[in-house]
Structure formats: structure tokens, C-alpha cells
Structure 1
Amino acid sequence: MSHNESFEDLFKVEETKKLRHLTPGQKITATIVSLGEETTFLDVGGKSEGVLNSSELKNEENQFTRSAGDTVDVYFLQSKGSEMLFTTSLGSGSSAAHLEEAFHGGIPVEGFVKAEIKGGFEITLGGNIRGFCPYSQMGLRRVDDAAGEYLETHMKFMISRFEEGGRNIVLSARAIQEAEREEMREKLKETLAEGQSVEGEISSIRDFGAFVDIGGVDGLIPISEIGWSRVENVNDYFTVGQKVKVIVKKLDWDNNRISLSYKETLANPWDSAVENFPEGSTHTGTVARLAQFGAFVTLAPGVDGLVHISKLGNGRRIHHPREVLEEGQNIDVKVEKIDLDERRISLVPADYVSPEGKEQKEKDEYRSYISKDRKKKSSNMGGFGALLQAKLSEKKKN
């Protein structure tokens, strides 16, 4: 140790080495140590202590939205003496110089959506600085009524272009939202599991199903997983923005595919099928679909049975069920057999008679006819004999 150095100097050097080194614009997660009316102190790791303007943690009623001990995402601005200055975003008091720092440092800025103009929106920054955000950069998804959705709202943006001393500023809200979703996605990867029940919001509807935002990622409810009955139009079941509860069917993080089921949150109609449709019972159903081999008949929502083509035609040979039935037609059917494990119900028309039964019926009808004919003949013979006997008796008397 030299004569010019003291233990105090060495201690300061050692402490300085322990200070966390940050670059302007770097994003970190800090812990709130204390909240003051003007200044909030942050624990930013190591021996470092950060300072944040308390107004950034207050709502419109000037009430704090966070408490001591909470974590908050902040961006490093600069070191001022022994203090490290942070921000959650550059606010309305920012100058063009501050906005240029935000551009180079990748720090979000807060803006007011003032007007809709050609190609996007005019955004007011720093009170009187004008910026432009294209439609495509306003959000993650296309919005039908963009003006109604965004006008006169405060939003956070990243500056994607800063030119001409601030006279040409291009913004992107989508960049921030994508970064936030990526963070949420990483958290979901740690907690989401197949078979889990989660809540989400319908984000878009397609012919093949509905996409659901489950908090950072979108999952798909295929049309086959919407309801227990056959679904023709997804719009009959969902609307964009609707809150839904779903079951996670399959997770494929590598390909960003999450399969969901809505119908598994609903009561399964097959659980009571044996009680509601016992073998031998008769019901009125609706022809749901015609196939080459038979007709599918809906007995209840989610419960279809099959009438095989061989049971149709009332004994007449047909080549396709459409010859005697049409979709949407009501038909009286009898449950011939039910297989709960395979979820199959075999049906026959209520007035169906099997070939064996038809043959037996014909035999019974023939026997009945013969029996009646013999009785008639016997009755006729009995009348003729009585007449003959009467004639003979009359002759004897004479």
C-alpha cells in the first residue's frame, strides 16, 4: 500500500468493483425498497441502488400501484454521482434529446394516440413532439375498428426510427407487446402442462377452429374439439374477445403449437347415454348425415346413432340412403344395440321388421288364413249335411 492510499480509499475501490455495471437502455428486474412522494429506491442487485421517479408508479388518482417488496421492470438511463437512474418508460416530459437517447438505448416511450392519418396514427410524445405509428405496428393483431380501439389512448412505444433531429420519428407498439409476450411465453413453459385447465380469450376465429390467447401464447381449439355434437360454423359458438375455459390437449413448444379442447369442459352426453337410450327403446331423431353405408341420426346433442343401409327401404333394396331419407328429416327409430366404450349406437326404423321376422309373420298369416278357410268349409259342409238329412226325413214321412 502506497503512502497516498488509505484503507478508506481501498474500501471505496472494492465497493466500486461490486457495483453492477449497466449500459444505457438495458432492461432489468428490480425490487422496490421504499416509495417516497418524489423518489422510489430500487434494489438492482449487488451493492447497487437505483432511483426511480415515483410518478411512474402512480395512477391517475396519484395513488401508488406498487408496494415495497414488489418487483418492477425498469430501464437504466444513466449514473449521476452515486445514484443509478432508471425509468419504466420515458414520459410526457421528455425532450427530443431524451427521445434520441431512448432510440439509441432501446427505452420505451409513452405516447398519446392523437389522430388517425394515412397509413396509421399520429402519436404525441413529450407533450408536443410528433411521431408516427403504422397500422401494422399498433398491435399484435389486426383490429377492424382501429380508430375506436386506439384513438385518445396512452400507449407505450419503441422508437424504430429517429431522424432529422426528431422531426421524423417512427414508432412501434407491437415491438413492446411482442417482447412482453415472449417473457410470458417463457414463464408459461415452466407452468403449463397437458391436461391442465386454463382460462383465455378468443383472439381470432377461422373455419377450422378458434385461437385462444392463454396469456402470452395462442392455442388452437380445432373444430372437432368445440362441442360434442358436429360443429358446422365456429361463429355459432364463439366471438372474438369472449372469455373461455379450455383444457390443454397437447404442447409442442418447438413448433409453437398448443392444442386445446373446449368440449372437455362441458358435460359428456355419452355418460348418460345408456340411461337415456336403452336397447329396445324408441325415439324421434334427426337425420344428421347420409353416407354410402347408412344414415347418422342425432338422438341428442353429441349423441348420434347409425341406421345401416340394409335396414332402410322397408324391405326394398336401395343403393344409397338418399333414396328414402334426406338430411334434417325427423325419423322414428329404435335402439338395436349400444356400445358405450366405442360410443356407437345401432338403430333401426321404428317400423323395421327383420327378414326372419318378416318370414315368420308371413308364415303366421298363412296359417291363420288356412285355419279360417277350414272353418269356413266345415261350416258350409255342416249346412249341406243338415239340409240333406232334412230331405231324407221328409221322404220317410211320406
Structure 2
Amino acid sequence: MSGFEELFAEHEAAGEKLTPGQQITAEVVSIAREWIFIDLGGKSEGAVAKAEFIDQEGNCTVAVGDKVTVYFLAEKKQEKLFTTKVGGAATQAHLEEAYHSGIPVEGTVEAEGKGGFQVRISGNVRAFCPFSQMALRRVENNEEYLGQGFAFKIIEFREGGRNIILSRRRLLEEERAARKEELRQSLAVGDKVTGTVTSVQKFGAFVDIGGIEGLIPMSEIGWGTVEDIHSHLEPGREVEVVVKSLDWEKERYSLSLKDTLPDPWEGVAARFPEGSRHQGKVARLMDFGAFVTLAPGIDGLVHISKLGAGRRINHPREVVQPGETLEVEIEAIDSERRRLSLSVPPPAESEAAGEPAQSETRPAAGAAGKARKKAAAPADNRQDFREYQNQQGRQSDRPMGTLGDLLKAKMAEKGSK
């Protein structure tokens, strides 16, 4: 330790300045009885309490040449002191230094109290962490933290260390902010990432992708209509999503679960060829027609002009209702624009396909019988006309005789008068 004053002077001459709480990675250059010395560069060294590197069996966990990550704690008697994370063998003075410098301390959650947790730090020092400071979000199950060890920040240090308030949330927020900056440099629209669902709302689900939290809107949950979002997602579930939009200034990020699923429009022409008939469910009604769902993500439009079975209607609701099952025929497919044009087959065609044939001598009954009688009437008239033509033909086939015969007949007619 005698050479620390000279080393400090050389370090200051080099123009390097460390701030309390600053993190550095340095190489172990020597190990003494109570201290481990690290190389700070420029012929300068720092010291870390050896007790911080002693395991439960009393062995030192580092050797000369190892790299260690430490925090600058303080300058005392022109000596630069460092620490790993204040805890275990750290002294009360170190805890106060940790408070002023923002250095994390190690702690174990021992019990749940009123408003928060009792935490043991630095050996036997008791501290308190409010529920609101344990995690980024409200604690759902307090028991899951009991017995666990975490890193905390000291946010209050009063009465000489007899009243210490901790926050784990502060550290998590700092880590999140650092991760956000990393994402800002690397993340792009269209990237596929993995995240965890944090909450599910009526309008969508929030997903934490590590550094930022994005929203999956209802329209991006699946290809089909999502009636109950809870049947698709729940808090804590890990999901793979695609980044749809990034607004770093307003901190609004849109994600899509749908884009990770197979596209139902691939091969749609083979599944629903033109002219084929299918059963679908009426999804929604518009002034110009009805949208019918044939499969998840596959909707087609029946124009209003094809809904009235030949009669004019003012709105599709006059003949169909949402949720109703409807038989439709594929009229046209536009795969590029993801559009299907549908029509409703005439009911008569469907009925005729399953109607038993009737004998010609069997009298017709009901509306069908009346229709057949009306159809038979023109045929009866044509038959009468043909008989009339035949009769006229027979009369015209009789011989008229000679001119003399005609004169005699005429004179006989006058004589008789």
C-alpha cells in the first residue's frame, strides 16, 4: 500500500478520472493477504477487498491474470478502492458509499412485511424493499420472491444505516434503458423476435421483447376474426412476433403474431376453385353486400345484387344476418388482392337437384302443380291451332270441277230462287 500515493499521482498525471459507481473491467496483477490489486492502466492500480472473492469453503476465486468487473467505490488516502457488488463482507461504510455512488448491493429476500419485503444485505444488515420497487410491474405473487437473492440499489440511507430502503426496480429500469438503446441501433421493421406476453386487453396484447414493450393489435392476432383474445394469448406466454412499426420518440411499437403464421391465401385457388360451392358463415354486413368467411382468414363478398334471389333489396340484412350459415358459389378469385367474389345459388336449383321425378299422368299439386299447368297452357293452344290447320287443309283438297259445271251450278241456284 506504500506505493499507492505515487501510483495515484501518476494516474492523475495521465488525466484519467473515475467517478464513484463507474464500472470497469481490469486484470488482477497481484493478490495480498487482504487485498486484490488490479491494473488500471498508465502504471496505476486499484484495490478490491479480497473477502469479496472468497467462496464458502474459504478459497479465493480469482488468480493473477484474471479479468474482473468491479465498481469504483471511493478514494481514501489517495488509494482507489473498488468493489464487485456491495454485500457479504462489505462494511457499513461501504454501504453508505454504495448509496451515494449508486453501486448495486447483493441482498436476500427473507420475509414479506407490511407494504414490502424484508431484505438482508451485507451480512446481517436489514433493509426494506417496497412492493412497488421489487419489479417493473406490480407483484402478483409475493411468495415467489422469498428466499431469492437479487441485486438492489440503496435509494435511502438514514440514521447511520439503521433505516435502509432498497429498489430492485431502479436496476431493472437501467438495464432496460441500456437494452433499449441497443435495440434502437439494431432492431428494424420486419424483424422476427421473441418476447413474453405481459398483459392482455380487449384491444390487443402487450409483449415485452427485452428493452421495449410492443402491442399486438386484435387485427394482428390471427388471420381470421378473433372473437376472444384470451383463447389465443395469456400473460407469461412466450411468443414469436414480427415487428410492424417502431416509433422511438413516442415509445409506440406495433407487433404481429399473424405474420408468423402460415398464409391462408397460399393455394386458395386449389382449395376454392371458381364454380365450386361451399358453406360459409356471414361475418359482417355492409351497404353493398355481405362478407362470408369460408376459412380462417379467407373472406369473400356477396354483392347486394346477388342476395335478393332476383328481387331488389335495399340492404343485405333483409335476407341474411351475421353468424348465419350460407351456401355460396365462387365466381372469381383475385389472389394478389386477396379477394373472392361470391354469389348465392338460386334456391330452385338446389331444390330441383333433390326433387323426385313425377309421372306425366300424376296430377300436380301446390305451387309446383300450378307452375306446370301454366307451362302446359301454351302447348294446348298450339295443338288446337294445328287441328284447325288440318281441317282447313282437308277442305281445300276437294276438287272445284270445270268452268261449265260452275256455270250450271250458278244458273241452278238462280232458278231455284
The alpha-carbon distance between structure 1 residues 47 and 374, as it changes in their structure 2 partners (threshold 3 A), is farther
Take 2:192 and 2:219, find their aligned partners in 1: how far apart are those partners?
A: 18
Of 118, 124, 127, the residue aligned with 1:131 is 127
Report the AA paired with residue 189 of structure 2: E
Q: Which deviates more from structure 2 when the two are superposed, residues 28-37 or residues 296-305?
A: 28-37
Aligned match for 1:106, one of 80, 97, 102: 102
Residues in 2 aligned to 1:63 and 1:318: alpha-carbon distance in whole angstroms: 89
Distance (whole Å) between structure 2 residues aligned to residue 85 and residue 194 of structure 1? 46
Aligned to 1:174: 169
Out of 303, 307, 312, the position equivalent to 2:307 is 312
**Matched letter for residue 114 of structure 2:** K
User: 2 CA distance for matches of 1:115 and 1:185?
Assistant: 33
CA distance in 1, matches of 2:41, 2:240: 39
> What residue in structure 2 maps to residue 140 of structure 1?
136
Aligned to 1:163: 158
Aligned length in residues: 363
Residues 27 and 76 in structure 1, CA contact (< 8 A), matched pair in contact too = yes
The TM-score normalised by the length of structure 2 is 0.74
Q: Which residue of 1 aligns with 2:410?
A: none
Q: Deviations over 1:149-177 (max 9, x none)?
A: 32221111111111112222111111111
Structure 1 window deviating more from structure 2 (372-381 vs 261-270): it is 372-381
For residue 283 of structure 2, the aligned residue among 251, 266, 288 is: 288
Query: How far, CA to CA, are the matches of 1:371 and 1:166 in structure 2?
Result: 112
Preserved contact between residue 71 and residue 85 of structure 2 (Cα < 8 Å): yes
CA distance in 1, matches of 2:68, 2:297: 48
Letter in 2 for 1:268: D
Deviations 1:368-393 (A, max 9, x none): 646643575489889999xxxxxxxx
- Write the distance in 2 (CA, Å) between the matches of 1:317 and 1:63: 91
- Which deviates the most, 35-44 or 268-277? 35-44
Q: Name 2:360's counterpart in structure 1.
A: none
1:18 matched residue in structure 2: 14
Alpha-carbon distance between aligned partners in 2 of 1:301 and 1:44, rounded to the nearest angstrom: 63
> Is 1:348 equivalent to 2:343 in the alignment?
yes
Q: Is the 8 A contact 1:41 1:49 kept in 2?
A: yes
Listed one character per residue, the Cα deviations across residues 168-222 of structure 1 (whole Å, up to 9, x for unaligned) are 2111111111011111111112211222222222222222222222221112222
| Aligned counterparts, 1:189-228, within 5 A | 189-228=184-223
Distance of aligned partners of 1:250 and 1:379 in 2 relative to their CA distance in 1, 3 Å threshold: same
Identity value in percent: 48
Partner of 1:93 in structure 2? 89
Displacement, 1:300? 0.9
Say which one has the larger Rg. Answer: 2
CA RMSD of aligned residues (A): 4.0
State the Cα deviation string for residues 338-368 of structure 1 (Å, max 9, x = none).
22222111111133799xxxxxxxxxx9996
Compared CA separation, residues 285 and 11, structure 1 to 2 (3 A): closer
Task: Give 1:93 shift.
Answer: 3.2
Look up the match of 1:250.
245
Asked if 2 retains the 8 angstrom alpha-carbon contact of 1:286 and 1:331, the reply is yes
CA contact 2:304–2:315 (8 Å) conserved in 1: yes
**Structure 1 residue matching 2:275: 3-state secondary structure:** coil
- Structure 2 Cα separation of the partners of residues 214 and 69 of structure 1: 34
Q: Deviations over 1:87-111 (max 9, x none)?
A: 3311133343322221112111111
